Amino acid sequence: MKNSQKVKLGNLISVLTDYHANGSYKILKKHVELLDDPNYAVVIRTTNFEKNNFEDNKYINKSAYNFLKKSKVFPNDILMNKIANAGSVYLMPDLKKPVSLGMNLFLIRLKPELSDQKYVYYYLKTNEKYIKLFTNGVATSTITKELVRRLDIRLPNIKKQQKISGIISDYNDLIATNRRRIQLLEESARLLFREWFVYFRFPGHEKVKIVDGVPEEWERDKLSKHVVFKRGVEPGSNNYLESKETYMYPFFRVSDLITKKPKIFVDELHVKGALVEKNDIVISLDGSVGIVSMGLEGCYSTGIRKLMIKGERINRAFLYCLIKSRYIQGIVNAYSKGTTIQHAGESIKHMNPILPSKDLMTKFDEIVKPVISEILLLFDQNQKLAQARDLLLPRLMNGTIDVSEFNTKIPEETEI
C-alpha cells in the first residue's frame, strides 16, 4: 500500500493476554465455574465464532468475572486462536453484557493513538495465511505471544485506516442487521408453531374436542412415512479441491451448515445424486447432531440428511418448524451414540410426532411460507454482501482501490 509503513504488531499492542494470565489451573479451578444457564457474564469461546452463534454460550457469575479481571473482553477487541487452528482471528461483537475470555484464545487490544482497532483486525484477517506461517506443531498448531508481537503490519496514516475500516464496517453492519432480521423471523415461526401444535391454542381450538390429550382428528404417526432422510456422500479427501472450477460443486460438511460457506469443492463425478438446493431442509445426524439448515446449494456429506417430503400429508413450512422443535431435537440427542463422534441416524425411527389436521397445517403453511421465503432471501443477500466485502477488502488493503475515491454508501437493499 502506498504511503504506508511496516511495523511490528507488538509496537501497537497495549494488551496481549489470555485466560491463564489470571492464575494456575489449580487457582482457576477453585475460583471459576463454567455455567450452562445465563448468568452475569459470557465466556467467549472459539466455537462462538466458528459457528457464528452467540446465543449458545457458557457463563460465569460476577465473582468469577471479577477474578478473571486480566482477561475481560470488550467490543472490537481482537481475539486470536492460540492453539488448534492457531492464528485465526476474530473481532469481538457487542453482546450487551460483560464478557470474559475463554481458554485457547489470545486477547489483543491496541493503542488507539497509533492504530485503528478494526483496521488492524481486517488486515490480520486478510493475512491469516501469513499469520499461520508463525505457528508451530504438526498434529496441533500453536502460536505464542512472542510470535504474535513479531507479526508485520502495513499501516497507513490513522485517517486512512479509519476510512478503510468504515467502508468494510458498512458491509458488516448490514450483514449483522440481516442476521437479526433472520433471527426475528425464525423466532416468529417457532412461537407460532409452539402456540398451535404444542400448546394447542390454534384458531378455533375452543370448539375442538381433546381425546387422550390430543385434539380430535390429529394423529401420532411415524415421520419416516412422510419424509425421506436422504444421506449425503463421501467423495474421499483425495478428491477434495480448494478452488471452484467448471463442473465443481461446493461440498457442505456438518461444520458448514451454520456459516453456509464451504471451503471444499468436488467434481460432478463424486456427487452421486447428493445435491441440495436452497429450498431444501437438511439436518446433521453425525458429528454435531441436530443442526437444521436451509439456503444451501451444492453437494452434501454423509453426516447430513436432506429431508424429502412424500405425499401431501405434511408441507415444508410445518416440517421445517417441526424438525427444529424441542421434540425432534430431543429425540436426536436421546438416540445419539458415540464417544468421540456422535451418530444419530437411529433417531429417525423414533420420530413419531403428533400431526395436526390437514386444514390446520395448510393454514400454518399460508402464514409461515412467506416467512421462510424472506429468511432465504436475507440469507442470499448476506452471501452476496460477504462476497463483495471479501473481494473489496484485500484491494483496499494493498492500495489497488484508493480509499479517497471510494464514496459509495451501501444501500439498505442491494443486488451485488
- Among the three residues 337, 355, 373, which one is the final residue of a domain in this structure? 355
Domain that holds residue 10: 5-156
Average pLDDT over all residues of the chain:
92
Q: Which helix (H) or strand (E) holds 281?
A: strand 281-284
Q: What pLDDT does residue 273 have?
A: 85
Q: Where are the beta strands (DSSP E) in 265-368?
A: 265-267, 275-276, 281-284, 292-293, 298-300, 304-309, 354-355
Same domain (yes/no): 90, 177 = no
Same domain (yes/no): 381, 415 = yes
Same domain (yes/no): 140, 15 = yes
Same domain (yes/no): 68, 189 = no
Q: Are 15 and 37 in contact (CB under 8 A)?
A: no
DSSP designation for 340: S
Q: Are 248 and 233 in contact (CB under 8 A)?
A: no
Q: Are 118 and 86 in contact (CB under 8 A)?
A: no
- Cell readout for 383 is 452471501
Lowest mean pLDDT, pick from 299-303, 321-325, 394-398: 394-398
CATH number, residue 115: 3.90.220.20
- Among the three residues 110, 133, 156, which one is the final residue of a domain in this structure? 156
- Cell readout for 291 is 443442526
For the chain, the residue count is 416
Same domain (yes/no): 209, 335 = no
Same domain (yes/no): 248, 163 = no
Please tell me the distance from the alpha carbon of residue 286 to that of residue 257, in angstroms, as a whole number.
12
Average pLDDT on 26-31 reads: 93
Q: Which helix (H) or strand (E) holds 7?
A: strand 5-8
Each residue's pLDDT tens digit, 326-367: 999 999 999 999 988 899 999 999 999 999 999 999 999 999
Name the pTM for this structure. 0.82
Q: Enumerate residues 6+ apart whose C-beta is below 8 A from 209.
A: 215, 216
- Among the three residues 355, 370, 392, which one is the final residue of a domain in this structure? 355
Same domain (yes/no): 236, 329 = yes
Each residue's pLDDT tens digit, 361-388: 999 999 999 999 999 999 999 999 999 9
Q: Is 153 exposed, middle or buried, given 0-12, 13-18 or 19+ CB atoms closer than 10 A?
A: buried
Q: Are 292 and 282 in contact (CB under 8 A)?
A: yes
Same domain (yes/no): 174, 238 = no
Query: Helix axis angle, 158-197 relative to 316-323, nearest 10°?
Result: 100
- Cell readout for 73 is 473482553
Whether the predicted pLDDT of 7 surpasses 80: yes
The Cβ-side half-sphere exposure at 385, using a 13 Å CA radius, reads 24
First to last CA, the chain: 26
Same domain (yes/no): 60, 108 = yes
Q: Which helix (H) or strand (E) holds 320?
A: helix 316-323
Closest-CA residue to 319 (of 311, 330, 307, 329): 307
SS (H, E, C) 234-260: CCCHHHCECCCCCCEEEEECHHHCCCC
Same domain (yes/no): 207, 164 = yes
Whether the predicted pLDDT of 4 surpasses 90: no
Please tell me the distance from the alpha carbon of residue 270 to that of residue 183, in angstroms, as a whole number.
35
Q: Are 293 and 258 in contact (CB under 8 A)?
A: yes
Q: How many CB atoms lie within 10 A of CB 164?
A: 24
Residue type (1 letter), 287: G
**CA 280 centroid distance within chain:** 19
Same domain (yes/no): 96, 178 = no
Look at the chain and report how many structural domains it folds into: 3
Whether the predicted pLDDT of 20 surpasses 60: yes
Q: Where are the beta strands (DSSP E) in 111-184?
A: 152-155
Same domain (yes/no): 305, 235 = yes
DSSP designation for 341: S
Average pLDDT on 287-315 reads: 95
Q: Report residue 402's pLDDT band, with 50, 70 and 90 as the boundaries.
A: confident
- Cell readout for 235 is 467423495
Q: Report residue 414's pLDDT band, with 50, 70 and 90 as the boundaries.
A: very low
Q: What pLDDT does residue 407 have?
A: 61
